[in-house]
């Protein structure tokens, strides 16, 4: 364990954690909502440093990031735990696992140091490290040290996140964070509270702040039938993204029943097409469909409308961008290429 960052010591031995927007006030011998930050004798410690529960080489398109080094590989890591309680989580076995169950989850026995992580990324010809699968905010100290070292050795860094971090957290990591895919799950605070044990406003604030900081941002919304698939809610999401920037890509992803949402049906393809049309009609330049095959994956030039990137699921099969410009009309393509 290491002493945590971003907390204050309060009277009575209480630790005020301001890493995420829950801002837990943690009594002695207790954990925060994330399940990995523990108050020991008035000091806050993280159990999430180096205890990697998943490590894979992924295409960056799987994050999903479609405008960030397309066709490249990203070394992806996770540590057990999360600051949300989403009933539809598809990585719930690791995201909702108490830290005490870490060994039964197959944690790497020897601590996976930032140095080892960076070495693995480089040896696998990865262009970036992605902190993903669970919520990277809750293993901030490990992500920060790894991102800083990775940047020094030529790697980019990615957060795949629920966006529920504080402004202080973002300010700390921003110098080393190149891109983020943020889950904007709903546009109703009541849905965030009921389904995720969280709130909407901090997520919106994080998205706006990341864009202002120059971090490349793409947004994902998992469309769940009967929950967030109304024209009204999809339009509200599209309008918000437009207010942040018309060139911020929006990934509308197909839901598959899992965890506590096994009783729901998969998202119909017609709903994804409807959401895509809503986004485009709102004025968004790039709206993509995920978890579905046959449509919604390619990138078109906003100006001349010719195909810039052809994708077969997560594989880039055609790339018509050079020096961040469309090969056909020479207009600048938003993103990092």
Q: What is the pLDDT along the chain (337 residues), one digit of tens a residue?
A: 899 999 999 999 999 999 999 999 999 999 999 999 999 999 999 999 998 989 999 999 999 999 999 999 999 999 999 999 999 999 998 998 765 544 444 455 457 999 999 999 999 999 999 999 999 999 999 999 999 999 999 999 999 999 999 999 999 999 999 999 999 999 999 999 999 999 999 999 999 999 999 999 999 999 999 999 999 999 999 999 999 999 999 999 999 999 999 999 999 999 999 999 999 999 999 999 999 998 999 999 999 999 999 999 999 999 999 999 999 999 999 999 9
Give Cβ neighbours of residue 57 (< 8 Å, ≥ 6 apart).
73, 74, 75, 76, 124, 126
State how far the Cα of 201 lies from the Cα of 192, in Å rounded to an integer. Answer: 10
Q: Can you say whether the dihedral through the CA atoms of 206, 207, 211, 217 is positive or negative?
A: positive
Q: Residue 98 has what pLDDT? A: 61
- pTM value is 0.96
- 228 Cβ partners below 8 Å, 6+ apart? 185, 186, 187, 188, 191, 221, 234
C-alpha span between 131 and 293 (Å, rounded): 26
Backbone angles phi, psi at 84, to 5 degrees: -115, 165
* 176 in Cβ contact with 146 (< 8 Å): no
At residue 101, the pLDDT reads: 46
| Helical segments of the chain, H only | 92-95, 114-123, 140-152, 167-173, 189-191, 201-213, 231-244, 269-282
In contact, 318 and 307? CB cutoff 8 Å: yes
Asked whether the beta carbons of 67 and 52 are under 8 A apart, the reply is no
Q: How many CB atoms lie within 10 A of CB 109?
A: 8
Residues 6+ apart with CB under 8 A from 201: 189
Q: Is residue 156 helix, strand or coil? A: strand
- State how far the alpha carbon of 11 is from the alpha carbons of 8, 18, 24, in Å: 10, 16, 14
Closest CA to 196 of 277, 95, 56, 281: 95
| Residues 58 and 52: beta-carbon distance below 8 Å | no
Report the distance separating Cα 160 and Cα 135, nearest Å: 7
Could you list the beta-strand ranges (E) of the chain.
2-3, 7-9, 15-17, 25-26, 37-40, 43-46, 52-59, 73-79, 128-131, 156-161, 179-183, 216-223, 250-254, 287-290, 299-300, 307-312, 315-319, 321-322, 325-326
């Amino acid at each position: 364990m290491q002493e945590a960052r971003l907390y204050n010591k309060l009277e009575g031995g209480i630790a005020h954690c301001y890493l995420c927007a829950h801002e837990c006030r943690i009594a002695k011998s207790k954990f925060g909502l994330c399940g990995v930050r523990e108050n020991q004798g008035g000091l806050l410690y993280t159990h999430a440093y180096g205890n990697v529960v998943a490590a894979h080489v992924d295409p960056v398109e799987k994050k999903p990031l479609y405008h960030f080094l397309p066709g490249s590989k990203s070394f992806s890591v996770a540590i057990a735990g999360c600051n949300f309680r989403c009933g539809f989580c598809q990585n719930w076995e690791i995201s909702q696992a108490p830290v005490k169950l870490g060994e039964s989850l197959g944690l790497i026995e020897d601590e996976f140091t930032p140095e080892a992580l960076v070495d693995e990324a480089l040896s696998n010809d990865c262009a970036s490290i992605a902190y993903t699968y669970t919520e990277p905010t809750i293993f901030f100290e490990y992500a920060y040290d790894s991102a800083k070292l990775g940047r020094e050795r030529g790697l980019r860094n990615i957060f795949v996140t629920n966006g529920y971090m504080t402004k202080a957290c973002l300010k700390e990591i921003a110098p080393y964070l190149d891109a983020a895919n943020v889950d904007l799950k709903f546009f109703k605070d009541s849905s965030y509270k009921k389904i995720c044990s969280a709130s909407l406003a901090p997520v919106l604030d994080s998205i706006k702040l990341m864009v202002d900081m120059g971090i490349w941002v793409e947004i994902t919304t998992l469309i769940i039938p009967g929950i967030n698939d109304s024209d009204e809610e999809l339009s509200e999401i599209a309008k918000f993204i437009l207010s942040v920037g018309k060139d911020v890509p929006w990934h509308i992803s197909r839901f598959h029943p899992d965890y506590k949402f096994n009783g729901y049906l998969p998202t119909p393809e017609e709903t994804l097409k409807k959401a895509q049309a809503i986004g485009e009609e709102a004025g968004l330049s790039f709206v993509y469909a995920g978890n579905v095959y046959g449509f919604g994956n390619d990138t078109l030039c906003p100006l001349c409308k010719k195909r810039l990137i052809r994708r077969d699921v997560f594989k880039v099969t055609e790339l018509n961008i050079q020096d961040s410009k469309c090969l056909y009309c020479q207009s600048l393509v938003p993103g990092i290429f």
